[in-house]
Amino acid sequence: MKKILLIGTGGTIASEETGDGLAPEIPASGLLSRLTGVERGIRVESAELLALDSTNITPEHWLMIAGCIKTNYAGYDGFVITHGTDTLAYTAAALSYLVKGSPKPIVLTGAQRPIGVDSTDSRENLRDALLCATSDMPGVSIVFDHKIILGTRAKKTRSKSFSAFESINYPDLGVIRDGAVLPFIRQECGAEPEFSDALDTKVALLKLIPGVKRDVLDFLFERNDAVVIESFGVGGLPETGGFFESVRAWKERGRIAVLTTQVENEGSDLTVYHVGNRLKRELGVLEAYDMTTEAVIAKLMWILAKTKKPTEVERLFYTPVGMDMFPR
C-alpha cells in the first residue's frame, strides 16, 4: 500500500466564505474528509503546515514546505501539497531546487473554486494529485485540470478557468484519464534527493515598460544581489537613458543581471538585435533563454544562497535543474 503525506498550506481549495471574501480555513484533514473515491491501496496522512492565501506565501514558507518534506521523506512514498494557485508556480519552481532530484513524487495542486462549492474543481484536482503521488513519476510537478506539468515549467495563464496552468516551452509530463496516470516524460532523478535549507531573497524583478527610467533599475540593484529584467520580445535594453551604463556599473560591484522576456513562449535570444547583442557581448549578462520567470527567480535565490562569486553563479545558472532549461 502506498503511503502519501498531504501537506496543507491553504489557498482557494481550503477556503470558505468569511463575509470579507474567501479565506483558507479548512485544514488538510478536512479536505480529505470531503474527498470521495480515493483509489484503494492509498493510505493518506495529513500535515497542517500553513493556512495562507498564496498571495501571502514567501520564500520563508518555501523553506518550511521543503523542511516538512525532508523531515518526513523516509516515511512516505510520495507527497501532495495543496496550495493557492496565484503563486503555485513559484512554489513549485522553488521546491524543484530545494528538493533537487527527488526520486519520489512531490505533487502540488490547488483549485479555482473552494472544495465546499458544488461546481468546484477541488475534488478532481486533489484526487488526481494523490494518484500521481503514487505513480512512478519522480520530482516536483503540478497536477491541475488532469494535466501533469513540470515544476520548473509551470505558469498560471488563466485567472478563473479550471484550465489555469500551462507548461511553458516544454511538453506536459503526462495526463490523468479515467483514474489512470498516463506518463509522457519521466523526470531525471537521483538515488536520493539533495535538500537545501537556505535562500537569498535579495532578488528583484523589473518589468520593462516604454519610457521606464534608469533610476528604477539603479534602485533595485542598490538593494539586491541580483536583478531580473523582463524585457520585450527576444530581449534587450533601451539604448538611451543610461541602462547599459547602469548594468555595467552594478556588475562591476558584483551584482548579477539576468535578462528574460515578457513573452511567455519561445524564450529570449539576445544575439538577434543590437539592443541585446551588446549586453551579451560586452557585459556578459546572464540570459534566461527558455526558462520561466518563476524558475529564474527561484533558481537565483537558491544559487545566491550558495555563492556570490559571479563565475560560479553563471555556471550554476546555466546548469539545468529539473529540466528548467534546455542545455546550452
37 — pLDDT class (breaks 50, 70, 90): low
Residues found in the chain: 328
Tell me, yes or no, if 87 is annotated catalytic.
no
Give the H or E element holding residue 251.
Answer: helix 243-252
226 and 274 fall within a common domain: yes
Residue 327 lies in a domain: no
Residue 325 lies in a domain: no
Tell me: the pLDDT tens digits for 41-99?
789 999 999 999 999 999 999 999 999 999 999 999 999 999 999 999 999 999 999 99
137 and 76 fall within a common domain: yes
pLDDT at 40: 65
Residue 324 lies in a domain: no
Q: Are 283 and 251 in contact (CB under 8 A)?
A: yes
CA atoms of 77 and 167, how far apart (whole Å): 25
CA atoms of 167 and 240, how far apart (whole Å): 35
84 and 164 fall within a common domain: yes
38 and 170 fall within a common domain: yes
Residue 326 lies in a domain: no
Q: Are 102 and 139 in contact (CB under 8 A)?
A: yes
170 and 212 fall within a common domain: no
CATH number of domain containing 286: 3.40.50.40
What is the phi-psi region of residue 14: left when phi exceeds 0, alpha when psi lies from -120 to 50, beta otherwise? alpha
Which of 195, 230, 255 is a domain's end point? Answer: 195
> Residues of 138-158 as b/e, b for ≥16 C-beta within 10 angstroms?
bbbbbbbbbbbbbbbbbbbee
188 and 271 fall within a common domain: no
Which of 195, 216, 243 is a domain's end point? Answer: 195
Number of domains in the chain: 2
Provide the domain limits for residue 167.
2-195
89 and 220 fall within a common domain: no
Assess whether pLDDT exceeds 90 at residue 173. Answer: yes
Closest Cα partner for 96 from 318, 301, 326, 313? 301
Assess whether pLDDT exceeds 70 at residue 181. Answer: yes
Which of 142, 173, 195 is a domain's end point? Answer: 195
Tell me: the pLDDT tens digits for 97-155?
999 999 999 999 999 999 988 899 999 999 999 999 999 999 999 999 999 999 999 99
CATH number of domain containing 120: 3.40.50.1170
91 and 226 fall within a common domain: no
17 — pLDDT class (breaks 50, 70, 90): confident
Residue 257 lies in a domain: yes
54 and 187 fall within a common domain: yes
167 and 215 fall within a common domain: no
Mean pLDDT for the chain?
95
- Active-site option among 12, 87, 134, 152: 12
191 and 211 fall within a common domain: no
Residue 160 lies in a domain: yes
223 and 141 fall within a common domain: no
